[in-house]
Structure formats: C-alpha cells, structure tokens
Structure 1
Amino acid sequence: MLASRTTTEELLAYLVAFDTTSRNSNLELIGFVRDYLAAFGIESVTVPNETGDKASLFATIGPAGVGGVCLSGHSDVVPVDGQPWTTDPFTLTPVDDRLYGRGSCDMKGFVAACLAMVPEMANAALKTPIHLLVSYDEEIGCTGVVPAVRKLGVDLPLPRACIVGEPTSMRVVDAHKSGIAYVTTVIGREAHSSMPHLGANAIFAAAELVGELDRYRAELIAKGDASGRFDPPNTTVQVTVIEGGTAGNIVPRRCAIRWNVRGLPDFDEAALLARFERFAQEVVVPKLRVEAPEAEIVTDMIYKVPPLRPQTGSEAELLALRLAGQNRTYTVAYGTEGGHFQAQGVPTIICGPGSIDQAHKPDEYIELAQLRACERFLRGLIAECAA
C-alpha cells in the first residue's frame, strides 16, 4: 500500500519492477497508476488497443472544460535480452547518485516524477488543469499513443500545450527528425545453384536495391542540414536487416531488406520512396523477369513517426523555457510521440530528465540530480497553473 506522499524514487522503483518490454502487456502498470490516482480522488480514462492487452491512461487534475497542459510519457521499455547487466534490470538499484534499472531513464523517471507531484497538483487549486497521459508501444514506432491522441478534442480535453518527457537532460527540445521504417521484399525464382540461368536470384536483386539506398544516403549527407541544428546534420538512410536464401546450393527465391529513414522536419519522404520504387520497378524487376515472369518487389511501411517541427513562440515552447530557466531550444535526432500531438493541433515540446546516451543500454540509469531538476520544473508548472 502506497503512502499518501510517495517520493519519485519510490514510485520509480514500482514502475521499473513492471516488465513492460514492448512485447508484453502494460496493463499491470496502468492499473497501478489508475489506483494511485484514485487514492487522491482523480479519475482516469483508459484507451485500450485492439486486442485489449495494452492501454494508455489519461487523467485530468484541476478544472474540467478548460484547456490545460498535458504531460506525456510512455510506459514501455526496450528488451534486456542478451545485454550484460550488472544489476537486475527490473529492480531499481541505487549506486552513488544514480538509479539503475530498465526504463529508469527512458522514460519511467519522468512518469514517476509526474506521479510524485500529484498530491501537490491535487492540493494546489489549479485554475489551469494538468493532464497526464501514459501510453504504450512508443519503442516500436510510437503507435500506442495514437488512439488516445485522436480522442483529444473529441472524447478527451484538447490541451493548450503538451510536454513529452523523453530524456533531454531537461533541455527544451522544439524539433526532432521523423522515423520511418520499411521492409522491401524481393521475390525471384529458385533453381539449382549449378543452373543459375534457370532461376532469378533475389539476393542479387536485393543487393542492387541496397546499393541504391547507399547512393541516397551519400546524397543526403552531401545535402546536409540547412538549419544547422541537427546532429548528425542530415537526413539519414540505413539498411538494418537483410534476410534471404534457403541453402548454399539453391538460387534464392526470396530476400527481405529492412531499412529506415530519419528525416529532417522538412524532408519529403514520399519523394524518396517514390524514387526508390521507380528504381525497383524500372531497373531491378525487369532483370528478374527475364527468367521469372512472376518476380516482384514490394515495399511496405512498418511504422512512421512524424517529425516534430519548430513552433517558435508557441505556448508550449514559452512555458517550457520559463520553467526550465532557459533561453534557447535544442533538437534531437531520435523520434518521439511529440509529432502526433502536434498533428492533432497541440503545440508540443520535448523536455525530460536523463540523457538519451543511457537509454537502451545495459545498466541504464538516471541521475538523482536529473530527477530533482524535473521535480523543480513540475513544481513551477503547478505554480503557473494555480496562478
């Protein structure tokens, strides 16, 4: 049973103990958050996924029917499989000024800090409400938040501003790249490897496609980043997985390529995909069909994370800069849920405790100083919303 006033560290220990690796359900964690909020008289709404094994949670502290500030964090974490952890990844372990555990940085630390501030929010007689949104499946394409975001302004209140608490070392981030993942499948024809002219080698065809992607990569590096704000300073293209072939004496019928693009906010990903598909259909497919008329190349999108575009002077940016005591904004190369909020018409920034350098690694940790900084930020938010 939780005490009426629970610290960020205590709440983080509870959250880390839930194994919410994206392949698992997050319902136990969501139930914990729901019950915690209910203890302070705060109702919440859950938005389940289609299969009912995961859900987002949305809650409002303060007056209803008034545009407020949304604090958004995801509950899922990346796997620990095969990583050489020196502590139990699902037991929060303090060492000196750090707290070790999967998700401690990315991004249960932010969620824990928000929950720890709930008693102060509840007692502050807020004039502007503070909304809490805890989502799922961020780590596999930022897909889980979408059903809840689509309800904003429909079944749920539309916030005036959103702060997504991804780890930025509490710097205010106003822009990030998009993240788009594809799988391109090449179908040729099998044959005995001693008679290759009777088959159509899917791996050779895939190699041509990889070469084309590498040319795009080089072009994008040369084009660079006109804003001068991003690191790396360009849109990136990467081939991440290649799977193909059956045996050493069989001309391969099938090969699949997984590749992704992380685009600058103004990047035209549709144009790049159209160019890639033209190359596939006009250059590579005809070679396959000389011996295999049934040959084909198909590209499917796995997921798309929209970019976060700068909104200079937005309420979200000005609020976050005041609360953080900063006078400039930053960018990050990774994607977040922020673009989905922005697309729904909610001005959004990214600002949260911890460094992305610690995320996804063995012995992930967050520094206590970062949690304290986040608490100060949130107390400032409470004061502004009560004024």
Structure 2
Amino acid sequence: MKDLSGAISQHPRLGDAKDHLKTLIGFDTTSRNSNLPLIDHMAEFLEVLGGKITRLQDETGQKANLIARFGPPEISGIVLSGHTDVVPAGGTNWTTPPFDADERDGRIFGRGSCDMKAFAACVMAAMRDIDQIELSRPLYLCFSYDEEVGCLGAPQIARYLKELDVPPSFAVIGEPSDMKLVAGQKGKIAMRATFHGTSGHSSFAPAHVNAVAYAARAVSMIDARARRYETEGPFDPAFTVPHATCLVTMIDGGVATNVTPDRCSFTFELRSIDELAAQADLDELLTEIRETLEPEMKAGHPDAGIRFERIFAYPAMGDARGTDAFAELRPVMPEYSGKVSYGSEGGVFEVEGGIPSIIVGPGSIEQAHKADEFVEIDQLNRCLHFLDNLLDQVGIQK
C-alpha cells in the first residue's frame, strides 16, 4: 500500500491516464450540449473490461448518466463518482484551444482537465487490469450529467443505487481536492428575483415604477445579509470559507437609455454551512425584501411587484468519517484537509441515496472554471496510487 503523503514513484499506468484525459477533454461536454458521445465512449471502454453497464437518460434523451458495476452485486459496494459536464470555455484568453488537450510544463491543459475529467481518466486507467483482481465487494463507477448547472443528473443515480437489492455503503466523489480527503461541503440554493414595474418615457420617471431601481435596492439588501454572515457567522473553521455566503450573480433589465424599465431580474445564491438554517435564512431575507419594497411599488401601480423562484438547490454533504464504511476504508484514505465551500454531488448521494460520501480527487479547485484550466500530472499519478490502494482494500489479487 502506497503512502501518498510524500514523493511517490511514477505509476505504470500514468501514460494511460494521460491519454484517457486528453481524449475526454476532446469531447465538448459543456452543460448546454449533449454528453452522449462521451458516455458512449466510456461505456464501451468499461464494458470491454467486464463492467455491467447501465445508462440513465434524462427526459430529452440528449443526456445520460453512466453506471458501470464491477464485482458481486449481492454485497454492499463502493461508488466512485464524477460528472461529465464542464462549464463554458468562453472568452479568448486560452493559450491553446480549450477542447484540444495540451501537455506542457508537467501539466495537462484543457476545459475539464481539473474539473473533473482527470478523475474519470484515472478511474479508466486504474480499471485496465481489473480482471486480475477478484473483488470482494462491488465497485460502482458513476458518471453524471449536468452537475455544473445544479447537480441535475446525480439524483437519478442515487435513487437507482438506493433501490438495488444491496445498495452501496460509501461513495468517493472525485472533485478536485489536491488528492486530500474532504469530509464536508456546503449546500446551495439558487434563486431568481423578478421585479415588475411600469414603463414610459424617462422624462416622466417620477410617474413610473422603476423596476431596476427597486431591484438595485434588493441587491443591496442581499449584500448586507452577506456582510452579516462575514461578521456575525455562524462560523465553522473547517470550511475553506468559514461562514455562509450570499451574492447576486447575474442581472438583466431595461430596454433603452430613455425608457423607465418596467422589468428587471437577477439571480442570487445562498451557500450555507448549516443546511437546516439555510431555508429559514432565505425565507427571512425574501420576506424582508418584499415587506420593504413591495408596498412602495404597489403604491405606484397595483400591478407592480416582486416574484421569487427557485432555480435549483442541492444539499450539503456531511462528515462521513464517523461511519462504519469509512472506518473500513480509513487505511487507504489520504490526509484530511477539512471541508469545502464549493458544491459536489456528495450531498445528493447522502440525501437521495443514503450513501455516506467523501471527496478525494486530482487537481486544485483553484484551477477550475478558468481559462487555461489545468491539472498537474503529479496529481494524476497520486490518484492512480490512491485507486490502487482502494482496489487492494476491496479485492484479492488472482
């Protein structure tokens, strides 16, 4: 069993992992696109190795989750989970084309290289000699769609696993964690606010209900709530950002420089360290905005008002280190690094599937969602050794 805390030797399948990653980057799986070509590619590869393949399609038929089982189904198993979609490449700041993988300076560059096709590539490489191992319990390799737009595919996987005769007992989520153990992740609620006012020539502005102006006041109230979290907490120092966060992310309103805007909408999010308090906090904030602004708006016109709608939400991931399943795997787990503020599908597996989860994956979240996204090749190497250790723990060499 390899100690991953210091320098380690080059893994014999590192070249395979690099090749797999370069191929996966070449599939433009931006969330707006179909992920089926990548899913078909992975399914074909894993099926040849003996994996029992299950596809779970979305309602459009253009997206699919992939589940590949290796090992005996009558025993509780382990999930290795990743998502196949990536955020838009956007902009012109890429040194090389974002969907053409480029290896240089000990790194592999490309959209999704870090978040999170590196983990999928390592899993594919690690399974190459799976026929040489007699698994004492099954491995479920799960790859989802649309994680980046709200963890939309993972609930379907979690429910499928929960309904098995013997569901898995533990999940490893391969989000970028510098190959350190993460045992906790914030949940998120994403919202849209729409302000309806009245329009007219801007020279008569006092006679109108300016939707942008009222939306701007609401944005200030959301920002004030965020400042309260920063100064008043509650706090949990184990998180990378030790308090809840709340911010406006996109805004749209107005039609011309000389027209009072009758509509304005914006999106905002709440990431909470305490999921039980998150909805109560959000309800309190929405009530404060309504009670402060809506009476003024309706005084200007009875049809003016505010509408809030939830875009999506995903649950927080708890600390699974106290579970029996984690205790069995503890000998192969890397160094603990705390909890993270970014989202993952770990909370979905816990809440929807009843499967305790942790995060261990190659790459740094600092590189995700940026131009010239990259993963260190050393991180691929460490991930391969980690997966070898995991296979040693759940299998017997033939």
Alignment of 1:127-166 (within 5 A): 127-155=136-164, 158-166=167-175
* Structure 1: gaps of 5 or more residues: none
Q: CA deviation at 1:295?
A: 1.0
Match of 1:263 in 2: 272
Give the 3-state SS of the residue equivalent to 1:29 in structure 2. helix
**Distance 1:224-1:83 versus aligned 2 partners, 3 A rule:** farther
Give the 3-state SS of the residue equivalent to 2:194 in structure 1. strand
Give the 3-state SS of the residue equivalent to 1:239 in structure 2. strand
Distance in structure 2 (CA, Å) of the matches to 1:47 and 1:119: 24
Distance in structure 2 (CA, Å) of the matches to 1:146 and 1:23: 19
In the alignment, structure 1 residue 104 sits paired with structure 2 residue 113: yes
Work out whether residues 176 and 265 of structure 1, in 8 Å CA contact, stay in contact via their aligned partners in 2: no
Counterpart pick for 1:94 among 103, 108, 112: 103
In the alignment, structure 1 residue 26 sits paired with structure 2 residue 35: yes
* Structure 2: gaps of 5 or more residues: 1-12
Work out whether residues 56 and 133 of structure 1, in 8 Å CA contact, stay in contact via their aligned partners in 2: yes
Q: CA deviation at 1:239?
A: 1.1
Alignment of 1:233-244 (within 5 A): 233-244=242-253
Q: CA deviation at 1:315?
A: 4.0
Q: CA deviation at 1:6?
A: 7.7
Number of aligned pairs?
383
Give the 3-state SS of the residue equivalent to 1:125 in structure 2. strand
TM-score by length of 1: 0.94
In the alignment, structure 1 residue 11 sits paired with structure 2 residue 20: yes
Identity %: 37
Distance in structure 1 (CA, Å) of the matches to 2:77 and 2:378: 28
Give the 3-state SS of the residue equivalent to 1:151 in structure 2. helix
Work out whether residues 44 and 60 of structure 1, in 8 Å CA contact, stay in contact via their aligned partners in 2: yes
In the alignment, structure 1 residue 68 sits paired with structure 2 residue 77: yes
Q: CA deviation at 1:321?
A: 4.2
Distance in structure 2 (CA, Å) of the matches to 1:192 and 1:169: 56
Give the 3-state SS of the residue equivalent to 2:37 in structure 1. helix
Q: CA deviation at 1:81?
A: 1.6
Work out whether residues 172 and 320 of structure 1, in 8 Å CA contact, stay in contact via their aligned partners in 2: no
Distance in structure 1 (CA, Å) of the matches to 2:289 and 2:331: 50
Distance in structure 1 (CA, Å) of the matches to 2:86 and 2:320: 29
Higher helix share: 2
Work out whether residues 107 and 166 of structure 1, in 8 Å CA contact, stay in contact via their aligned partners in 2: yes
Distance in structure 1 (CA, Å) of the matches to 2:119 and 2:329: 15
In the alignment, structure 1 residue 333 sits paired with structure 2 residue 341: yes
Match of 1:188 in 2: 197
Q: CA deviation at 1:79?
A: 1.1
Root-mean-square deviation (Å): 1.9
| Misfit runs of 4+, over 6 Å | none
Distance in structure 2 (CA, Å) of the matches to 1:33 and 1:212: 47
Q: CA deviation at 1:119?
A: 2.7
Distance in structure 2 (CA, Å) of the matches to 1:155 and 1:115: 24
Work out whether residues 242 and 257 of structure 1, in 8 Å CA contact, stay in contact via their aligned partners in 2: yes
Distance in structure 2 (CA, Å) of the matches to 1:22 and 1:139: 7
